[in-house]
Amino acid sequence: MAQTTQDVIGQYERYVMNTYVRSHLVIVKGKGSRVWDLDGHVYLDLFPGWGVSGIGHCHPWVMKALRGQSTKLLHVPNNYYHVLQWRLARRLVDVSFDGTVFFANSGAEMVESAIKLARRWGHLTASGGLRRHEIIVMERSFHGRTTGALSATGQPKYQEGFEPLLPGFVCVPFNDLDALRRAITPRTVAILLEPVQGEGGVRVASEAFVRGIRQLADAHKLVVIYDEIQTGMGRTGRWFAYQHTGIEPDVMLLAKTLGGGFPIGAMIAKRHLSQALTPGTHASTFGGSPVACACALAVFEAIEKQGLLERAGHFGALIMKRFTALKARCPIIQDVRGLGLMIGIELSVDGRPIVEACRGQRLLINCTQERILRLLPAMTITRAELDRALAILEAVLMAHVPQVAAA
């Protein structure tokens, strides 16, 4: 029986828990920067999977790795070894910093892992009966929806009604080093931040801020944790956003693009810290499965062999230039900002009608914090696709400029 979009929406309403704001679009197929709906319409996707499909939907090398591995072995419990997990861990360390890697399946789980690592480190380094456990987090941050990650998220709108939250988080304004310095107490053990806030409105941490954090952390023996779940794996034109300043974290969290669409998350921690998690202290049943690792290894291949870091930097600069130029002609654009292929366009008006209008023109984008359009194009997008997508967005933005009333 043929299903229509309305049928599918009706069945969701009946059987699927209603926790998401969804657009009326049923997606049946994806390739690169294009997706197809039930009726065969093709959409350009400038927000593929909230950043998950960072190298495009169904990248051929990921699909090949997935097909190959899935005929051999899907899952190995972590009380045994398999041959792909160490390879992926080594790849991650080779492009970041020396340490060891813990694998799980999603972003929020990596945040939970970092909270446990930091607390355990505070416990092991306790002196004079003082067990450090407080983690400093940022306003407008986003770290996920599990209870610990939610408690670390600096946005009360996500926390409302779920109290009491996990204690031990102290929230300070982003890019405000003085406030952060004042928040450090003898109980502080870590500082957690996104080098570019995504959901919070595409806000880039200033170099002075991250440099100051590093100095304060070194002086007070604090663990610097970067949530690179959205920024990592090439999105910003480098493997990791921290590499734009060269100021290293001690712990880094990844998910989203890492698996090329297959769920996997990773936490990389410097060696002195990773010792805090000994056998039996932390685990994930599905973590680092052969299939997930095979997909992530294919993502590495694609980023390296297809020159995707350079592409992300190049196309990112091109998008910034176009919207900065448009800003001069389009009074509803207040600010254009970002890093590589992570771009925010702040408007003076509600962005949601603009997202809907773009969808009507078969272009998918996102709006966050009500007025900030967010673009996370795939690093594999073609120049022709990008030009077409930007032309649609520009036309929609111009059409939303309020007309001056005729006399």
Ligand X SMILES: *Cc1c(COP(=O)(O)O)cnc(C)c1O
Q: Does 227 bind ligand X (CB under 6 A)?
A: yes
Do 115 and 282 form a contact (C-beta atoms < 8 A)?
A: no
Q: Does 230 bind ligand X (CB under 6 A)?
A: yes
Do 54 and 376 form a contact (C-beta atoms < 8 A)?
A: yes
Binding mask 187-226 for ligand X (x = CB under 6 A): -------x---x----------------------------
CB of 68 to ligand X, least distance (A): 25
Sites for ligand X among residues 244-273 (CB under 6 A): 255
| Per-residue tokens: 351 | 């962005």
List, as one string, the DSSP characters of 108-128.
HHHHHHHHHHHHHHHHHT-BT
Closer of 144 and 313 to ligand X (Cβ): 144
CB of 112 to ligand X, least distance (A): 9
Strands of 34-37's sheet in order across = 27-31, 34-37, 42-45, 363-364
Q: Pick one of 106, 113, 284, 380: the residue that binds ligand X (CB under 6 A).
A: 106
| Per-residue tokens: 141 | 């941050």
Closer of 96 and 396 to ligand X (Cβ): 96
Closer of 209 and 396 to ligand X (Cβ): 209
Q: Does 69 bind ligand X (CB under 6 A)?
A: no
What's CA 337's distance to the chain center, in Å?
17
Buried b (16+ CB within 10 A) or exposed e, 366-391: bbbbebbbbbbbbbbbeeebbeebbe
Q: Pick one of 104, 171, 225, 229: the residue that binds ligand X (CB under 6 A).
A: 229
Q: Does 115 bind ligand X (CB under 6 A)?
A: no
Binding segment for ligand X (CB under 6 A), chosen from 34-42, 73-81, 102-110, 320-328, is 102-110
CB of 363 to ligand X, least distance (A): 22
254 - beta bridge partners? 266
Please name the helix (run of DSSP H) or strand (run of DSSP E) that holds residue 66, with its range, or none.
helix 60-70
CB of 230 to ligand X, least distance (A): 3
Beta strands at 27-31 and 34-37: parallel, antiparallel or unpaired: antiparallel
Query: Is residue 328 classed as helix, strand or coil in its secondary structure?
Result: helix
Contacting positions for ligand X (CB under 6 A):
106-108, 111, 142-144, 194, 198, 227, 229-230, 255
